[in-house]
Amino acid sequence: MSEKRPVVLYGASGFSGRLVAEFLREYRVPFIAAGRDGARVQDVLDHVPGISTADYEVVQVGHSVDELTELFDGARVVCNTVGPCFRFAPTVVDAALAAGCHYVDTGGETPWVRAAKEGWGERFADRGLLLAPATAYMSATAEIAARVAIENAPGIDTLEILSMFKGNPSYGSSQTVYGQLVYESIYLEGNEYRTWPPLTVLDVTIPGSITTHSALPWGGFPHPVWFKDHPQIANVRAFGGILDPVVMQGVIAGERDYVEKLKPLPLEDQQRILSELAAAAQGATPPRENRRENRTVDVVMGRGNLDTAHVVIHGTGAYLQTGLIQAFAAHHLTFASPFKVGFASPGEAFGHLELLKALESYGFVKLSVIS
């Protein structure tokens, strides 16, 4: 193994980045905390609980392929938390490939996941490297439930997936939610991509709640991409939302305003205005999650001709789960090869049951197989 620290955490000063650092410390994985402002990275990490016992260094780096390639050279894996990924990740992926590093990120935007698979998947596979975007709560936890459903009901061919969390989206997440509006939302039908109509809003029911909630396709989530051409699963519809109805109604209103007012504008103007709206909605760093308040629920319903499956994962701390999932992935890649190279979902790369056990070991989730 190279003497260089094996993990590069890029975007360490962000809300998700500091949580990844916290759990890298838990796993005792040496890492480089990198970002465009080294002083800010250091200031943020100084406030991470227990960070004085971690083996890490801070590096300031520009967001260019050449500079990032030099930084990544000799490391095993890059954990990218700089988002939105559809805007910033291609540069990081190019650098990881040039440096010969595995790549994981926290961005679950469907346009980015599709682009990663189609643009870089084969090139990473040819090098024996992993490319695993969306290694984070909003996708990976639901994927665990989906793969458990498939194991428990081999006759199902259809998945309906719902991910809901209570909390305040971070700055990066807000940029993603608004920025993704310029792209179509997809689902999978007969192993072919289909497009949701604009302003699709669903009323959903959640185990453990007597009220209904609103959910959006939000680009379609990565699951239709992950299960495309799956030998068993032909149909996938995925939705998500925020359990606070006031916040969620604001998100829905923002999407309606985009369709009615912004969509006719040139794309560059759309992106600029959406970025400004996202910054206005969440310009500050939200408080660290309180697990008694910031809870999650992921529901998967499976259906075949006669077989059915119903799997629920109740959890706490969406961003805490993301930090742990990223650190678990980095720890695995520090000492072993992924289960699959090239483009892969977190479950394919690290094992969905292994990811489940990691989350359970910290008391973050509880899985229930209803039927």
Quote the Cα angle for 347-131-98, to 5°: 160
Nearest alpha-carbon partner for 104 in 336, 343, 317: 343
Query: Do the beta carbons of residue 201 and residue 216 sit within 8 Å?
Result: yes
Confidence of residue 1 (pLDDT cuts 50, 70, 90): very low
Over residues 322-343, the mean pLDDT reads 98
Out of 107-121, 268-282, 311-325, least confident range: 268-282
Among 337, 325, 302, 273, CA closest to 130 = 337
pTM over 0.75: yes
pLDDT of residue 341 exceeding 50, the answer is yes
Q: Which range, of 26-35, 73-82, 180-189, averages the lowest pLDDT?
A: 180-189
Q: Which residues neighbour 275 within 8 Å (Cβ) at sequence distance 6 or greater? A: 175, 178, 179
